[in-house]
Amino acid sequence: MKIIDLFSGVGGLSQGFEWVGFEPVVAIDFWEDAIKTYNHNRKDKVGISMDITKFNDEMLSQIIKDHKIDGIIGGPPCQGFSTARLSNATDKKDKENESRNRLYLEFFRTVKIVKPKFFLIENVRGLVSANKGAFVKDIFERFGEIGYNVSYKILNASDYGVPQNRQRVFFVGLLEGNFEFPEKFNNKISTEEAINDLINSTEDKTQKYSTPSKNEYQKLMRNGKKTIKNHEVTIHNEQTKNVISMVPDGGNIKSLPPEYWNIRRYNKAFQRMNSKLPSNTIDTGHRNYFHYEENRIPTARESARIQSFPDSFEFIGTKGSQYKQVGNAVPPLLAKVLAEKIKSYLK
C-alpha cells in the first residue's frame, strides 16, 4: 500500500504508517533540514524539499502514472483559515492568512487529483473551535463534494502509548466506510519510564547506554540498538541552574518564593517534568521545560523518546534545528495506531 506524505517534516506520520506496511513513495516539505533527516533515516530517499504547488504542478502526474496511491497523509498549516471559500486578501495579515490557506487548499488539490482510498490530516486542536468551526465545516464540505466520508477527533497521544500529553486534531476521510477512531489504551507511560535509562551525557556525539532497558517502552525504543545519538546536554549558566534546582519534580516557578517570579514572567516558566506522569507537550523551544531530576532542559534524544521516535532515528542539523524537528513531528506510535485502524478499512 502506497502513500504520499505532504508537509512531512522528518516523517513522524510516515514512520507510523511504515511500521504497519505502508510505503511512502514521496514526502514533501519546504524545510530542507527536515527532509535531510527524513532521508537520512530511510533506505528509499523519497523526501523532497519543495513547495507543494510546484509539486502538484510538476511532479504529481508522473507519480500517479508510476504508482497506485492508496492514501495521502500530512499536516497542512491551517492557522490562517478564515471563511469557507477564501476571500480576497486586502492587507498584510490577510495575505499571510491567504498564504497559509493556500497550503491547505493545495493538500485538497492533491487529494482531488489522486483520489486515494483515504486521507489523513493532523493539526492543532484549536482548529476545531477557530472561527466558530469554519475549518471543520469546510473540510467536511470540500472533501465531501469529491466523495469522502470524513471523521475527526481530538486525540491525546498519552492515550495511545506515547509518554506525552499532546492533543491534536485528526481528520480521516474514506471513500468507503465511516472511520471510527481507535479505543484508548488502558495504561499510560510516565516521563521517568520513558527516559530514565538515558544518562546525563557529555558533549559526545555518540554514547553507549549505561544500563539495560528498564521496561517495555525502553526496550521498544532501543530495538536492540547499542548506542545513542542526539543526546548532547545543554550547559546552562549558574544562575539558571540554581533556580532550576529549587523547582520540585512537577513544579514550576510559582513553586519558588515570589522574588524569583520576575525571572520569567509567565506561570509555565521553569517548569519541571513530572516524573510520574506523561510529559507536557514537547514543543520546538524547550527553553522553559526541564528534566524531572537534572537541572537542565531535556536533550534532543530525550525529547525524541517522549515523542516516541526510536533511538535508531537520528536527527540531522544543529542542536536548535534538532529540537524544532522533534517538536514539529507527529508521534510515530500514535501514527502507527491510526495507520493500523485505517488499514482495517482498506480492501
In whole angstroms, what is the distance from residue 197 CA to residue 275 CA? 13
**CA of residue 171 relative to chain centroid, distance:** 15
CA atoms within 13 A on the CB side of 142: 20
Owner of C-alpha cell 534546582: 245
Q: Which residues are catalytic?
A: 78
Cα–Cα distance for residue pair 309/106, rounded to 1 Å: 28
Between CA 133 and CA 137, with CA 136 as vertex, the angle to 5 degrees is: 85
Nearest to 43 by CA among 66, 28, 24: 24
Per residue, the 3-state secondary structure of the chain, as one string, reads CEEEEECCCCCHHHHHHHHCCCEEEEEEECCHHHHHHHHHCCCCCCEEECCHHHHHHHCHHHHHHHCCEEEEEECCCCCCCCCCCCCCCCCHHHHHHHHHHHHHHHHHHHHHHHCCCEEEEEEEHHHHCHHHHHHHHHHHHHHHCCCCEEEEEEEEHHHHCCCECCEEEEEEEECCCCCCCCCCCCCCCCHHHHHCCCCCCCCCCEEECCCCCCCHHHHHHHCCCCEEECCCCCCCCHHHHHHHHCCCCCCCHHHCCHHHHHHCCCCCCCEECCCCCCECCCCCCCCCEECCCCCCCCCHHHHHHHCCCCCCCCCCCCHHHHHHHHHHCCCHHHHHHHHHHHHCCCC
